[in-house]
Amino acid sequence: EIVMTQSPATLSVSPGERATLSCRARLSVSSNLAWYQQKPGQAPRLLIYGASTRATGIPARFSGSGSGTEFTLTISSLQSEDFAVYYCQHYNNWPWTFGQGTKVEIK
Amino acid sequence: EVQLVESGGGLVQPGGSLRLSCAASGFTFSSYSMNWVRQAPGKGLEWVSYISSSSSAIYYADSVKGRFTISRDNAKNSLYLQMNSLRDEDTAVYYCARGLQYPDYWGQGTLVTVSS
């Protein structure tokens, strides 16, 4: 299986600032990568698929980039509702695997 | 509006069995692949199983292979997960999630607790 590694584990950011989250795959997953946001007590929500395509209804402040083994999720100007845990997931082959998550907290 | 509602979770002893259900609405269920994804308390997400729209393709994570069985009933718009020989490490919230490649809609989950 392909191991996905996210960094940092925790990111402390002030509202209005930019947040940059990283996800690395042990092997190439091409552009078959998705990002999810999860708030406490809630199900994950799809943000990005195909490494860079925003899902329906996702604000433009969320953007994804990368291909192969290195990926980035950028939140251009953090809003209060963006403080959450973010997961990357590859779907290049079976089994799907997720990163361990990055918690974005208020600085 | 797409809705996925899981049920069937609860407390079960190690070695026991449980059957989870997921009721789907708001989309043509028979046209979509479905998955089960779980999350242990305070931990990350783990994909468990996949079933194609016609049930012709089924995959499992190694951690559940031989113990769990995924199935669906397109006439009832329902997804199932039969879980046998449950272990402590199967304790988690189990989500049903729609999608062939990436889950685009998720249910709210049902908690399975394996404990004596």
B52, two tokens: 């194609």
The predicted structure's pLDDT at residue A19: 96
Compute CA distances B77 → A44, A65, B21, B62, whole Å: 22, 36, 10, 27
- For residue B107, the distance in angstroms to the closest alpha carbon of chain A comes to 7
- Is A44 close to B108, i.e. CB distance below 8 A? no
What are the backbone angles phi and psi of residue A72, rounded to the nearest 5°? -140, 135
- For residue A42, the distance in angstroms to the closest alpha carbon of chain B comes to 7
> Which residues in chain A have Cβ-Cβ distances shorter than 8 Å to B101?
32, 34, 49, 91
- Is B109 close to A44, i.e. CB distance below 8 A? no
SS (H, E, C) B34-67: EEEEEECCCCCEEEEEEECCCCCCEEECCCCCCC
Average pLDDT over residues A62-79: 97
Q: How confident is residue A107, by pLDDT bands cut at 50, 70 and 90?
A: confident
The predicted structure's pLDDT at residue A81: 94
Compute the distance between CA of residue A94 and CA of residue B57 in angstroms, rounded to an integer. 12
Q: How confident is residue A93, by pLDDT bands cut at 50, 70 and 90?
A: very high
B58, two tokens: 């089924």
- Read off the pLDDT of residues A21-58 as tens digits, 9 standing for 90 and up: 999 999 999 999 999 999 999 999 999 999 999 999 99
What is the percent of chain A where pLDDT is above 90? 98
DSSP for residue A27: S
Per-residue pLDDT in tens (0 to 9) along chain B, 116 residues: 999 999 999 999 999 999 999 999 999 999 999 999 999 999 999 999 999 999 999 999 999 999 999 999 999 999 999 999 999 999 999 999 999 889 999 999 999 999 99
Task: Decide: A102 and A7 in contact? Cβ < 8 Å.
Answer: yes
Nearest residue in B to A86, CA atom: B44
The predicted structure's pLDDT at residue B100: 87
Of the candidates B111, B100, B95, the residue with the CA atom closest to the CA atom of residue B4: B95
Compute CA distances A33 → A38, A105, B23, B29, whole Å: 17, 24, 27, 24
Cβ count within 10 A of residue A106: 11
The predicted structure's pLDDT at residue B11: 97
Average pLDDT over residues A9-27: 96
